[in-house]
Amino acid sequence: MLTAARPIATPGRWAHLGADDDAVWGSFRGSSAEPYDTVVDHRHVGVRCSCPSRRVPCKHALALLLLWIGGHVPEAVAPAHVTSWLERRRVVDDRRVEAPSDPAPPAGPGDGTDPGGEVSDQRDDGDDHDVPPPPIDRPDGRDERVARMHEGLDELDRWLVDRVRTGLADPALAQYATWDSLAARLVDARAGSLANRVRRLAGLVGASADWHQRVLDEIGLLHLLSQAGRRLVELPDDLGDRVATTIGWQVRQADVLAGVPETDHWLVAGRSDTREDRIEVRRTWLRGATSGRWALVLSFAAYRQSLDTSLEVGTTIHADLHRYPGHALRALVTPKPPKPIPKDASDRALSARSEAFFGTIVDLCEEVGRALADEPWLDRVPALVRAAPTRSAGRWVLTDDTGSLPLDDASPSVMSGLPVLLAVSAGGPVDLTVEWTPTGLVPLTVFGDGDGVAVDIGPRADPSFVGAA
């Protein structure tokens, strides 16, 4: 942990630093949506930090001590949340002293130390269940936001239990208001992403012959997210960050851009437009030439507004990407991305297309499987594949020597690009960018063999909605 603490033991990463005879405190400004408030009781040895790490002391506490030892923490009067925490620790210590009849606990992990005398993984060794933790004084109201989100997740779980108890044959499920009222409550609870999932779920009811299974699957994923959202502090840091953003925890762009950039030549591999409620969403998928990693750039447009068109499908850009917390797919391109490299650039070292690996159907399945193992709630996974479009068992599929996968041919927007795919491929294998979805593959881009041409066939936004010609 000391190795992880040294890089962040710099005054520029901290705010509200201070120390007195009892404690040292500060707020660490990292890549998360909110700063981590850290307090170290250096007199009676105790740590408190709002980060989700399960290690005690965490790297923020150790970095704070390194700053203090190095003389970078000024003397100051302790703020209210520090003094209240210290007072609570003293109360607990006094209770232990006033109860000599109780046998002393044996040395070991149960009393906050291991046989070597070091602090163990037990969180906040001054906590006592009879003394409620005091609220932390934060001007940004973070505690209130967390409490509201937890209330929303509790209500979501109760609603899901009621749905399973009454069964999917309940006539109320066919009424959009049944779902919309829950989505509105989730929006109030600052869980907007879950609200969008609930509204999309409403559109599945009665939409196909297998809608019961699809609704039940999504109910299971909503339950998974509601449970994970209430246990963020118990999850590994990266997974906890991904769960929080999936639920709808807002992350400031400034915090994302403050993180370490990922520099590469990025192939603009595909684009997909969808509508969520009354907002058009554009997903642009980038693939790193060196890293081979995917990144997702989102743009949004309300009524009569235009979606971002700065990233042209098939081009390559040399740019810095800043990923959202948790090493997520979603990322931000630097505010002024470099000039795109032309599709027919002669220097193949700069062409992410030339470095891209267009795998088989089996490779695609393995890539999707790995992504879903990390995040089971994903409903879109990008992939590069070389396959041929054909008909099988009454459906359009992509096929090669290793297998076949169906297209999402029930979607009109997906099928509108099928004629172009058939024309470019001429019925033979062709390089493609696709999105895996639970209902089938969505072709986004078809690359012509040898000529470097990339044809964008991804689902389009509704022109009447965005005001396009």
**Pairing label, strands 316-323, 395-400:** unpaired
Q: Are residues 221 and 298 part of one domain? A: no
Kindly indicate the confidence band of residue 8, based on its pLDDT and cuts at 50, 70 and 90: confident
**DSSP H helical segments within 248-330, as ranges?**
253-257
Q: Using CA atoms, how far apart are residues 303 and 127, in angstroms rounded to an integer?
A: 52
Q: Are residues 180 and 149 part of one domain? A: yes
The model's pLDDT over 372-407, given as tens digits with 9 standing for 90+, comes to 998 899 989 999 999 999 999 889 999 999 999 999
Q: Are residues 261 and 228 part of one domain? A: no
Q: Using CA atoms, how far apart are residues 7 and 67, in angstroms rounded to an integer?
A: 11
List residues bridging with 264 in a β-sheet. Answer: 319
User: Is residue 239, in this structure, part of any structural domain at all?
Assistant: no
Helix axis angle for 237-247 and 211-229, nearest 10°, is: 120
Three-state DSSP at 204 gives coil
Give the helix/strand (H/E) hosting 249.
none
User: Is residue 247, in this structure, part of any structural domain at all?
Assistant: no
Q: Are residues 374 and 440 part of one domain? A: yes
Q: Are residues 66 and 147 part of one domain? A: no
Q: Are residues 365 and 447 part of one domain? A: yes
Q: Are residues 77 and 11 part of one domain? A: yes
How many domains in the chain? 4
- Check if the beta carbon of residue 213 is closer than 8 Å to that of residue 219: no
Q: Are residues 339 and 365 part of one domain? A: no
Give the helix/strand (H/E) hosting 162.
helix 142-166
Spell out where 230-356 has E strands.
262-276, 279-288, 294-301, 316-323, 331-333
Last-in-domain residue among 62, 97, 132: 97
User: Is residue 446, in this structure, part of any structural domain at all?
Assistant: yes
Residue 288 CA to its chain's centroid (Å):
19
- Is the sign of the CA dihedral 251, 252, 257, 263 positive or negative? positive
pLDDT at 452: 66
User: Is residue 82, in this structure, part of any structural domain at all?
Assistant: yes
User: Is residue 431, in this structure, part of any structural domain at all?
Assistant: yes
The model's pLDDT over 22-60, given as tens digits with 9 standing for 90+, comes to 899 999 887 655 788 899 998 888 888 887 666 778 888
Number of Cβ atoms within 10 Å of the Cβ of 466: 19
User: Is residue 131, in this structure, part of any structural domain at all?
Assistant: no
Q: Using CA atoms, how far apart are residues 179 and 99, in angstroms rounded to an integer?
A: 54
For residues 404-418, b (16+ Cβ closer than 10 Å) or e, as one string?
Answer: ebbbbbeeebbeebe
Range of the domain at 203: 142-232
Q: Using CA atoms, how far apart are residues 370 and 361, in angstroms rounded to an integer?
A: 14
Last-in-domain residue among 285, 318, 344: 344
Q: Are residues 146 and 227 part of one domain? A: yes
List residues bridging with 27 in a β-sheet. Answer: 15, 37
Q: Using CA atoms, how far apart are residues 45 and 80, in angstroms rounded to an integer?
A: 19
Supply 203's token pair: 């559109």
Residue 202's closest CA among 219, 220, 221?
Answer: 219
Q: Using CA atoms, how far apart are residues 462 and 331, in angstroms rounded to an integer?
A: 25
**Pairing label, strands 331-333, 381-392:** unpaired
pLDDT at 1: 62
Q: Are residues 263 and 221 part of one domain? A: no
* 115 secondary structure, DSSP code: T
Residue with token string 């506490």: 61
Q: Which residue has the higher pLDDT, 335 or 196?
A: 196
The answer on pLDDT for 15 being more than 70 is yes
Q: Are residues 400 and 338 part of one domain? A: no
User: Is residue 86, in this structure, part of any structural domain at all?
Assistant: yes
The model's pLDDT over 113-151, given as tens digits with 9 standing for 90+, comes to 333 333 333 334 334 333 333 333 333 445 567 778 888
Last-in-domain residue among 344, 372, 405: 344
User: Is residue 122, in this structure, part of any structural domain at all?
Assistant: no
Q: Are residues 79 and 14 part of one domain? A: yes
The model's pLDDT over 277-292, given as tens digits with 9 standing for 90+, comes to 678 889 999 999 888 8
